[in-house]
Amino acid sequence: MTCLRLSLVGLAALLLPSCMVGPDYTRPSGPMTPAYKEAPPPGEAWKLAQPSDARPRGQWWEIFGDPQLNALEAQVTAANQDLKVAEARFREARALIGFARASEFPTISAGVGLSSIRESRNAPFRIRSFPPSGQFLLSFDLSYELDLWGRIRRTVAAAREEAQATAGDLGTVQLSLQAELAMDYFQLRSADAQQRLLHETVKAYTDALQLTVNRFEGGAAPKSDVAQAQTQLETTQVQATDVAVQRAQFEHAIAILIGQPPATFSLPPAPLNLQPPPIPVGLPSQLLERRPDIAAAERRVAEANEQIGIARAAYFPTVVIGASAGFEGASIEKWLQWPSLLWSVGASLTQTLFDAGRRNATSEAALANYDALVATYRQTTLSAFQQVEDNLAALRVLRQEAEEQQRAVTAAQESLQLFTNRYQGGVDTYLQVITAQTFALTNELNAVNILLRRMNASALLIKAIGGGWNVSNLPQF
């Protein structure tokens, strides 16, 4: 009868309705705007996306249409060591969910004890002598904490939200590395374009030097013309050599990004000849769903909310159900017989009465941490808006600048041809040719640089809108 009562008491305790202390989570409000300030007017290549518009998904770099870039980007996910670190952190956070969930179930342990006991003949209050005896014990123990106040459930939820935030961190690292590779690749191809331009210029300046030498030997030009032409040629050769250093550095950077030693990696020269593709940027409200760093920040706010509940649960008593069963005997022959059975079951309730303000401090710290993470979430959102606006403005301005620069290149080339013809005709000095050469080369290099800036702004814009990432990519546990 006693056993039945104890069993009923334990069952009733298990079935007691429990509650969750602490605040329910509500996603914090963030800064929002109905449209981007720097969005181009309708009809231009850079436009706001409508819901039906295609946007970069998955392998977003394919929008540039460069097979070599596609091949390199595929290697980042497989071999980049920074990405492997982020992926390992995610697996660690995911494993901690299982650690937290284990508290939702009883802990069962088993033990075996073997001992031989001999009482002292000189023990105080000893009535009679007992011969040495043995003790054989086999026990199974169960301990289970009732989650009456939601502490365990909130701990599991916090671990789950941290794992989701870590998945967002992984997405952020991956997107950053992919964008960095794209920009390094564009830098390298821009260096190739500059080298080709400078090599062609060196050939042209070599011909110009020969022209001045011929005119000097014919008595039609002074020695100073030869010196000026020689100086112009040597200066341009120095520029071509310096570009080679930059190209090597970007090639090394790409090798590290794809997990290879620089000594084993090389890319054949190929001048940059891409054009920025149209990129639908979406609405500002969609940015919250497409940025992994924003998603990670929001998940950590949710985790901080759970920590507030965990801190508040410490004010309430803890109820633990314990049970033990096993066999105990004085000899091995009688050890596992039915009369050797022993068992016990019970429950304990503990309540902290005085902790010198520890729980208050923990609760205040949890609230402060929540406020800090809300501010971090809002700042992350603001920074995301800034990045989109910055690159929209850059693309809009650089597009106009590229058109203006192309006109400047054409004018400079025409000017160079005119001054060269006038020099050959003896009308102008070679100083005008040198000046025209300098203007022409400067404008051509500037055109290459503007194209590079446009390509980098394109990659940064795709990164700013989250690439092909979406909040649905967060794992569900």
pLDDT value at residue 128: 57
Residues 167 and 71 in one domain: yes
SS3 percent helix, strand, coil of the chain, rounded to 5, is 60, 10, 30
Residues 211 and 166 in one domain: yes
Predicted confidence band of residue 335 (pLDDT cuts 50, 70, 90): confident
> Between vectors from CA 446 to CA 445 and to CA 452, what angle results, nearest 5°?
95
pLDDT value at residue 41: 62
- Give how far Cα 348 sits from Cα of 46, 145, 323, 402, Å: 68, 9, 11, 78
**Taking residues 299-310, what's their average pLDDT?**
97
Report strand pairing: 341-350 vs 133-146. Answer: unpaired
pLDDT value at residue 137: 87
**Taking residues 186-210, what's their average pLDDT?**
96
DSSP H helices in 264-357: 284-290, 292-313
Mean pLDDT of the chain: 89
pLDDT tens column, 396-407: 999 999 999 999
Number of domains comprising the chain: 2
Closest residue by Cα to residue 187 from 444, 388, 451, 393: 451
The CATH number covering residue 184 comes to: 1.20.1600.10
Residues 435 and 368 in one domain: yes
Residues 252 and 322 in one domain: no
Predicted confidence band of residue 39 (pLDDT cuts 50, 70, 90): confident
- Give how far Cα 124 sits from Cα of 118, 130, 141, Å: 15, 14, 34
Residue 55 predicted with pLDDT over 70: no
Predicted confidence band of residue 15 (pLDDT cuts 50, 70, 90): very low
Residues 111 and 229 in one domain: no
Q: In what order do the strands lie in the sheet with 107-117?
A: 107-117, 133-146, 318-329, 341-350
Count of C-beta atoms within a 10 Å radius of residue 98: 11
Structural domain contains residue 70: yes
pLDDT value at residue 11: 45
**Taking residues 113-123, what's their average pLDDT?**
72
pLDDT tens column, 148-179: 999 999 999 999 999 999 999 999 999 999 99
**Taking residues 102-117, what's their average pLDDT?**
89
Structural domain contains residue 215: yes
Question: Final residue of a domain: which of 326, 350, 374?
Answer: 350
pLDDT tens column, 128-142: 555 556 678 889 999
Note down the domain range covering 325. 106-121+129-146+317-350
Residues 66 and 95 in one domain: yes
Residues 468 and 416 in one domain: yes
Residues 111 and 211 in one domain: no
Structural domain contains residue 296: yes
Residue 422 predicted with pLDDT over 50: yes
Q: Return the minimum-mean-pLDDT range out of 1-5, 189-193, 226-230, 280-284.
A: 1-5
Residues 223 and 264 in one domain: yes
**Taking residues 186-215, what's their average pLDDT?**
95
Q: How far apart are CA 77 and CA 181, in angstroms?
A: 11
> For the CA atoms of 288, 290, 293, 294, what is the dihedral angle to 10 degrees?
10
Residue 474's beta-bridge partner residues?
none
